[in-house]
Structure 1
Amino acid sequence: MMNSKQLIEIALLAGEIMLTNGAETHRVEDTMVRICSKGKLKLAESFVIPTVIVATVADENNNLVTVSKRIKNRTIDLNKISLVNQFSRDFQTHEYTYEQAIEILNNIKNKKGYSSYLLPFTAALVCCFSTILFGGNLKDAISAFLVGFVTQSILNFMNSRNFSYFISYIIGGATTALVAIITVNLNIGVHLDKIIIGSVMIMTPGVAITNAIRDTIAGDLLSGVARGIEAFLIAVFIATGAGIALSLFR
């Protein structure tokens, strides 16, 4: 049987993996409490907002343990969220040792995502078909494909160098507009507006907006408002970057 400190350490690591990869705050809290409920604890509580995780447990002797974790970087990886969800359920039905649980979670945390070549290619396809969806023609779609590939490659580079979350979106927006202007001037694309609109779809904060709504519905008003503001600021910075590039070239 694990002690309270070991349980809270496992729960904190699981919560960190989920929150840094785009999970809703109420899902993170539920997973952490589920893990802590494995032991004979009198109390197991967690408080999560997009940038901080706080967990408290009390054992049979009323010894309280409280830990917190600052979350500085966040991304989107739904596969890791699914894996931690499955682990939390297996943790309740299987007799894992502390070392086994930590090893499983570290393997999930360090699991590599899609290759640096596949992600720009798929992002380019999204831009291509989004441009067609917004009324662009075939030449616009080809242009958007190039824009998406270049933009996602630059975003990958900045993420690997731990650039500021919002600076990445400013540069991403500027890159989108700049490459779109170049393709139109080279007569690869025709409608600049449709190319840019289709290409920025890879940066739009869809997950942040969804999580803001789900957190608000679940009663986590602080997290819901925070994620809503985050989504709004991402949109503002994308537009700022694109606006700067358009202003310079016009």
Structure 2
Amino acid sequence: MVNEKNDELALDCLLLAGQIMMESGAETYRVEDTMLRMARSQNLDAQSYVTPTGIILSLGKQQKTKIISISSRITDLHKIAKVNNVSRKLTLKIITLDEAYDELRMIQKTNYFLPIWLQILMAAVSSACFLILFKGTWFDMPAAFIAGGTGYLALLAIQHLTKVKFFSEFFASFVIALVAFSTVKLGYGNEIDKIIISGVMPLVPGVLITNAVRDMMAGHLTAGIAKGTEAFLTAFAIGSGVAVVVAFY
């Protein structure tokens, strides 16, 4: 009975670690590696199958197999780092399985994101900085600042209302292009192309594209193709939003 309870706890702990990492934007091979290392630390012969939308974990023929669904995915590298830290401590016998599970539950519940206002401010600042990297003029920096901040605000607002990623990215890029055209038309900007490109940079799925390539290189073809498709749809949504404004102007 004790072994059965320990195996049940191990299953829940490993699945929770994998769920947090996948929902936070980790690579598929990293999730599998972390789960298997945690299993070996408990002398368990685990087998796992990880995709961007779900995880299957088994402890062997005589043990239970569990499946967990991944319904949402964001980019939260801090959570991934904290789960990796829990995995290392468990592997080194610094903490027990119960303590690891409690820490993982705390990580799952905690929101490590910056305040909304600070996220918007950082998106605006990064857009202004990207303008200079793209060899834009200092005169256009305020326009890029406003476009980037307004676009990110629109992204967060639509995500909260619809929960549909495609629509939020489409509307955010639409707002960015609209702000860029308006500032140039009013005489507060010159190079509209660089203002738009700088404004949409906070929306570009850079981490997702990188993870897709890394998963493909690691042999996780299903996950790599799925993430690549998601990145393509994101890029398509951003381009479509800009194209609608360009077509009207």
Same fold (TM over 0.5): yes
| In the alignment, structure 1 residue 192 sits paired with structure 2 residue 192 | yes
CA distance in 2, matches of 1:114, 1:246: 33
Report the equivalent of 1:117: 117
CA distance in 2, matches of 1:38, 1:159: 40
Report the equivalent of 1:80: 79
CA distance in 2, matches of 1:34, 1:162: 38
Sequence identity (%):
37
Report the equivalent of 1:18: 21
CA distance in 2, matches of 1:20, 1:239: 25
CA distance in 2, matches of 1:6, 1:111: 21
Using the TM superposition, name which of 87-96 and 194-203 deviates more: 87-96
Report the equivalent of 1:164: 164
Report the equivalent of 1:37: 40
Report the equivalent of 1:66: 65
SS of residue matched to 1:55: strand
Report the equivalent of 2:204: 204
8 Å CA contact 2:177, 2:196 repeated in 1 = yes
8 Å CA contact 1:3, 1:39 repeated in 2 = no
CA distance in 1, matches of 2:197, 2:144: 9
8 Å CA contact 1:15, 1:28 repeated in 2 = yes
CA distance in 2, matches of 1:217, 1:129: 32
Q: Tell me by how many angstroms 1:197 deviates.
A: 0.9
8 Å CA contact 1:34, 1:88 repeated in 2 = yes
So what's the TM-score if we normalise by structure 2? 0.92
Please tell me the residue identity of whatever aligns with 1:33. Answer: L
Q: Tell me by how many angstroms 1:227 deviates.
A: 1.4
Please tell me the residue identity of whatever aligns with 1:221. Answer: L
CA distance in 2, matches of 1:101, 1:95: 6
Deviations 1:38-64 (A, max 9, x none): 3343x3011111111111112xxx522
Q: Tell me by how many angstroms 1:97 deviates.
A: 4.7
8 Å CA contact 2:128, 2:144 repeated in 1 = yes
CA distance in 1, matches of 2:26, 2:236: 23
8 Å CA contact 1:25, 1:48 repeated in 2 = yes
CA distance in 2, matches of 1:97, 1:135: 53
Q: Tell me by how many angstroms 1:160 deviates.
A: 3.7
Deviations 1:157-190 (A, max 9, x none): 2334462121111111111111111222222211
Q: Tell me by how many angstroms 1:103 deviates.
A: 2.3
